Structure 1
Amino acid sequence: MTTNPSLPKRVIASLNSRSEARQWEQLIGNLLRRLELDPADRARAEADYEKLAERVADKLSLPRHDVHIFPQGSMRTQTTISQRHPVKFDLDLIVKLTGPKYDSPNPEVMFAAFGRALEGNESVTGTPEEKRRCWRLGYPGKPYYFDLTPAVRDQTGQAGSSLSVRDPDTRWAPSNPEEFADWFCTNANLRFPFQVAVRKSQIEARTTVTPLPDGEVALDDILRRAVQLMKLHRDTLYWGADENKKMAMPISVIIVTLATRAYADLLSSRAHEFTSPIEVVLEVVDAMPSYIERGQHGWRVENPALAGENFADKWNTDGGARRAEFMRWHGKLETDLEALLYQNARVPSEDKVRSVFGPAGLEAWKASRPKANVLDGLIASGMGASKTNPDRPVKTGSSNTLG
């Protein structure tokens, strides 16, 4: 009796038989590149949050060096991706407040005062909108909005926690966004033997305003590209879904954590089995559910940089809704990738492209469609696409902004 080969083996066998792995890698890489934040918009965003740091320090009557603002989440890990117009890019920022006033503050007083410090410039920033742990500034007319989380030195005493943020249920919540991002980036920067090793030294300025990471995400930056692909597919699947479905959709930090664990293990145990990035991506996707733990107290996806923090804690209090949605999304991702990659890279079905990458991805694919020779066209199409300025943000499925 023969067994059905796994999805990665089936798809790779098909791609190899058609000699199309490289074409698909170029097509997907260039498509994703077109959905990233434009470099000019990135520079404007950085200028805006530098001005914001000055304003917050002034309004809170703090020395400038006591307000340290830095990116977290997808901007820090370089995995941001746009869904579609009129959706904006979500820039997650931590604002660390220091000095005697913030050694042991009341979390509610601190949080409210920070919100007031954001007022008075609504024509530029929009009206501050309160969330559970952050304040949102919409920046009308610009393609991004800011989620600003005020933080102070750790108040919880939890091992591994470098910061504390206000939590309406627990007063203080431990946080370590920089350590989590460093864990992801360390793994993402590792390369398989088949790849050309390119190392770029990146020295981060130790100032009170940390610049956005601006290195280009290369086509062979496998883990970052895989995360972008997965987030885009998730956002496509849940676009237009009812609020109950959206509340239960897989959050970014779980996707990032599971994908990174799978990538690291493949590299440490099976590195020489792979010959192309697309093989690695398919194996990473296939392996992700195996890193979800089930113990005495329920489902766990532990923060690798903060022992004891369970990213899947809500899976254990919702009657199984979030666990079910994760598995539904994961199964759909595998099905859609297989259907897509069985297509001819020169003339893939638009419906198949849309199923994985959504309407924005389809438009990006059309914009980068080869004119004559598929490889020449794909390579030539990788340079900047025109951008539109969306008007409003939408929920991206994660209240935890680490990912």
Structure 2
Amino acid sequence: MSITKSAALVNYAEQAKPARLTKSLDSFAILNERFVTNDRERYLRYNPWAQALNAANLHITVREDEISAAASAYQEVAEHLAANLSWPPEAISIRTQGSVSTKTLIRSPMGGEKFDIDAVCEVDISRVQAANPMGFFESVGRALAELEAQAKRRCWNIPFPRQPFYLEFTPSVPLDNVPAQTLATMAPRYRASRYERTALAVVDTPTRNWKTSNPAGMSQWVEDTSKRSLIRVVTMEAYAKDEARASVSPVPDQTVEITDTLRVAIRLFKRHRDMCVRRNVIEAGVKPISIIIVTLLTTCYEGLADLNRSFVHPVELLDELAALMPHLVLNLDGKHRVDNPTVEGENFAEKWNDDDGERYRAFMTWCDALSADLKTILALTDPQEISKRVREVFGIPAPSGGGNGLPSIQIPAPKATPASRGLA
């Protein structure tokens, strides 16, 4: 019986990974045999860790009111395009992509620092117009000149100085609008491998040609994967019925952890990466980019679901995701690979192969630091100590009167674990 690619990757990672990150979780198995009669009681024993980690998750999540201003920014951009170009408004569609669309946008550890809103603009231009990708890209830049747009490789950066964000704005056309002969020159990268209906063509300025992109497909993949339950527990509503007997009030953010464990993992791991940069564990210029973290964690989660793995609590699953993640990076013919699941042939880790291994080493150093920190957190048992350590690790301000909230701690950087060498 054949298995999915994600399941095969997880199988390989399970063979390559070290033992469970912390003995404290293994100790629960012994404790459960003696004192815990069912999964519900075992679930409740994880509450101190769950509450502390979810408090961190809530703190780093960008508030909805801070993001809502993006809607008016999109409208302003669309009006500039319609006013300065020959495109009718109905031919222009602007929507979020990246962290906003996957609901994994996080705050920067540096107070007051702007966050980026990734947006894609789909324009239904003719095939004749699509024959000139650079002309299309540059016309967008000219139309946005009043907004001080700056060209990047595939997008325009719009600063919006009076907003808490800046816009990374990517012009695109439906992939079907690209002439057939042009598509042939893009092969094999022009093929959409999943969620084909949402595939787009964006301009890759270094090559001056079209390149396939599928941001909506990536977002839908994260959404679809996150809905697959890996937690063996009854619903929180069932817990609430005997709340008094359990002496534990159902915490609303627990429901978030049960239903959105994947997104919580992405948010927390991204924040940990940013804290590693702030503490000089890794350098900002070579830190793992968010799309790699999202792809590896979603692949891991999907593979575990495909293999019918299950966990009593999201804390167990977070532990497993951290342990497996570094072993999901493929090394094929001496090249590191993190494949885009929606576009055939695109390697998100392409830059890792052109920098003498600097980005790969930074990734592995970060993974080792993440594992070390989770091991320390999960080895604690006192709720106050757990909460304190979580705040330290993820850079969360202490409660009022509790100091500056950012203690100085040393994160170990053990020897990097080798990447996987691929699948048989």
TM, length-normalised to structure 2? 0.72
Q: Distance in 1 between matches of 2:56 and 2:320?
A: 21
> Is 2:81 the partner of 1:82?
no
Moved more, 108-117 or 275-284: 108-117
Q: 1:236 corresponds to which letter in structure 2? A: M
Q: 1:175 corresponds to which letter in structure 2? A: S
Question: How far did 1:114 drift?
Answer: 0.9
Q: 2:399 corresponds to which letter in structure 1? A: K
> Is 2:138 the partner of 1:112?
yes
Q: Distance in 1 between matches of 2:256 and 2:98?
A: 19
Q: Does the C-alpha gap of structure 1 residues 105 and 86 become closer, same or farther in structure 2, counting only changes over 3 Å? A: farther
Which residues of 2 match residues 40-189 of structure 1 at below 5 A? 40-84=65-109, 85-100=111-126, 103-120=129-146, 122=147, 127-154=148-175, 155=178, 157=183, 158-160=190-192, 162-171=199-208, 172-189=210-227
Which residues of 2 match residues 223-262 of structure 1 at below 5 A? 223-239=262-278, 241=280, 245-262=283-300
Conservation of the 8 A alpha-carbon contact between 2:104 and 2:267: yes
Question: How far did 1:129 drift?
Answer: 2.4
Conservation of the 8 A alpha-carbon contact between 2:52 and 2:386: no
Q: Distance in 2 between matches of 1:233 and 1:86?
A: 18
Corresponding residue number in structure 1 for 2:320: 283
Question: How far did 1:231 drift?
Answer: 0.4
Q: Which has the higher contact order (CA 8 A, sep 6+)?
A: 1
Question: How far did 1:142 drift?
Answer: 2.2
Q: 2:399 aligns with which of 357, 366, 383?
A: 366
Q: Distance in 2 between matches of 1:337 and 1:241?
A: 19
Q: 2:329 aligns with which of 289, 292, 295?
A: 292
Question: How far did 1:67 drift?
Answer: 0.8
SS in 2 for 1:169: coil
Conservation of the 8 A alpha-carbon contact between 1:57 and 1:66: no
**Deviations along 1:207-260, whole A, 9 cap, x unmatched?**
xxxxxxxxx992321000000011000011112759x93222111111111111
SS in 2 for 1:191: coil
Question: How far did 1:309 drift?
Answer: 0.9
Conservation of the 8 A alpha-carbon contact between 1:83 and 1:236: no
Conservation of the 8 A alpha-carbon contact between 2:129 and 2:136: no
Q: Does the C-alpha gap of structure 1 residues 253 and 113 become closer, same or farther in structure 2, counting only changes over 3 Å? A: same
Q: 1:13 aligns with which of 23, 26, 36?
A: 26
Conservation of the 8 A alpha-carbon contact between 1:31 and 1:368: no
Q: Distance in 2 between matches of 1:30 and 1:229?
A: 11
Q: 1:282 corresponds to which letter in structure 2? A: D
Conservation of the 8 A alpha-carbon contact between 1:7 and 1:334: no
Q: 1:234 corresponds to which letter in structure 2? A: R
Question: How far did 1:197 drift?
Answer: 6.3
Question: How far did 1:70 drift?
Answer: 0.9
Q: Does the C-alpha gap of structure 1 residues 279 and 57 become closer, same or farther in structure 2, counting only changes over 3 Å? A: same
Q: Distance in 1 between matches of 2:291 and 2:385?
A: 31
SS in 2 for 1:133: coil
SS in 1 for 2:113: coil
Corresponding residue number in structure 1 for 2:359: 322
Conservation of the 8 A alpha-carbon contact between 1:92 and 1:146: yes
Q: 1:267 aligns with which of 300, 305, 316?
A: 305
Conservation of the 8 A alpha-carbon contact between 1:233 and 1:355: no
Moved more, 59-68 or 36-45: 36-45
Question: How far did 1:329 drift?
Answer: 0.6
When Rg is computed on C-alpha atoms for both structures, the one with the higher figure is: 2
**Deviations along 1:55-105, whole A, 9 cap, x unmatched?**
322222311111110111111110111023122221100011213277424
Unaligned segments of structure 2, at least 5 residues? 1-16, 32-41, 184-189, 237-253, 403-424
TM, length-normalised to structure 1? 0.76
**Deviations along 1:117-144, whole A, 9 cap, x unmatched?**
2232x5xxxx322222111122223222
Q: Distance in 1 between matches of 2:23 and 2:326?
A: 19
Q: Distance in 2 between matches of 1:257 and 1:345?
A: 34
Q: 1:38 corresponds to which letter in structure 2? A: R
SS in 2 for 1:348: helix
Moved more, 16-25 or 176-185: 16-25
Larger fraction in helix? 2
Conservation of the 8 A alpha-carbon contact between 1:315 and 1:322: yes
Q: Does the C-alpha gap of structure 1 residues 352 and 89 become closer, same or farther in structure 2, counting only changes over 3 Å? A: same
Q: 1:279 corresponds to which letter in structure 2? A: E
Q: Distance in 1 between matches of 2:370 and 2:338?
A: 20
Q: How many residues align?
A: 338
Q: Does the C-alpha gap of structure 1 residues 330 and 173 become closer, same or farther in structure 2, counting only changes over 3 Å? A: same
Conservation of the 8 A alpha-carbon contact between 1:333 and 1:356: no
**Deviations along 1:159-189, whole A, 9 cap, x unmatched?**
1172222222222222111112111211111
Q: CA RMSD in A?
A: 3.0
